[in-house]
Amino acid sequence: MTRSLIAATLLLATFSGARAQEPAPATQEPLQTLKISTRIVGVSAVVLDNRGEPVKGLTKDDFILKQDGAEQEIRYFSQDSDLPLTLALMVDTSTSQKMFIEDEIEASEKFFRVMLTRPADRAALVQFDYNVLQLQSMTDQPQTLKNSLGFLSMPHTGPGGPPRGGGGTLLYDAVVATAQIELGGERGRRAMVILTDGEDHGSRYSLEQAVAAAQRADIVVYSILYSGETFASGMQHSPDPNRIDGRKVLNTLSNATGGHVFTVSRKTPLDLIYSQIADDMRLQYQIGYTPPDAAPGSYHKLELKPRAKHLTVQARVGFYTPK
């Protein structure tokens, strides 16, 4: 236990030294199979029909791609399931989420086994409450990840100890740290899978900075809303005006990066949600184009649409020109 917890504090130690400023952009590498240009912008997309089922077999002519309102020529297109999968499972272990930990551990063991099926597929495990802790760095071993899941239910104290008042949920800080440290330099299809109620208390970074960090690293964010009210009743109660709207926060994170928000309920258990995320990641279209010249660090809007009106696309809505 001691060795694992010491290793787990590395992410926190690295993050704690950072100042609360606009996240530095991660190096934006081309997709693994691209040879066209180092300036290529890659867009990972999932296409859904009117029943919400993934659509296969499309070609580049089935899409319209725009940057800042101007249509772009698609230079690279593939639905390549051979690209490696790289994901970070991030679990909220704050007080409001403690009751769900055992269910999350059991379902996550299966999720790792389903996702890591080839040597190049890798995953990491991060927990966050009043600290951000790396429980397992990137590995291709499901058994190693299974072992690290056990630490989610164990008490821990970070280098600074618990905050005054005993609470805190550093959701935004966790997204920034994981994007920069864990996923920023990885190739292939990158994703965060976040189990949380969407509330943030005490982060140094803002929601806007968390979105920017994920967009800079071209990471798809899948959010899984775990709420005591929703899980118990299967329906969302009227929101408390004094509470953070967690669903709105998660919609902002996921919609901006091409992901999706799922809600755990008795009718929609975590196992089923994990299966849907696995399908999404396996059936992504990889689209690339060469962007017009732009100032380093500048933000650009992306719009990817299907020509068929009955289809919808999940894809990131913007990117930053690398500095």
Closest among 225, 218, 168 to 194, alpha carbons compared:
225
Structural domain spans, the chain: 2-16+82-282, 41-81+284-320
Provide the strand spans (E) within 148-213: 189-196
Ranges of residues in the chain whose predicted pLDDT is under 50: 1-37, 164-166, 231-237
For residue 96, which phi and psi values (nearest 5 degrees)? Answer: -70, -15
The predicted pLDDT at position 229 comes to 58
The predicted pLDDT at position 156 comes to 66
Task: Locate 103 and state its tokens.
Answer: 């269910």
pLDDT digits (tens, 9 = 90+) for 190-227: 899 999 999 999 999 999 999 999 999 889 999 999 87
H-only helix segments in 51-177: 101-115, 142-149, 171-177
The predicted pLDDT at position 239 comes to 52
The predicted pLDDT at position 175 comes to 97
- Residue 96 per-residue DSSP state: G
Full-model pTM: 0.82
2-16+82-282 falls under which CATH superfamily? von Willebrand factor, type A domain (3.40.50.410)
| CA atoms of 196 and 203, how far apart (whole Å) | 15
| CA atoms of 273 and 193, how far apart (whole Å) | 11
Give me the amino acid identity at 94. Answer: S
The predicted pLDDT at position 159 comes to 57
| CA atoms of 171 and 192, how far apart (whole Å) | 12
| CA atoms of 307 and 292, how far apart (whole Å) | 23
The predicted pLDDT at position 242 comes to 56
CB 172 within 8 A of CB 205: yes
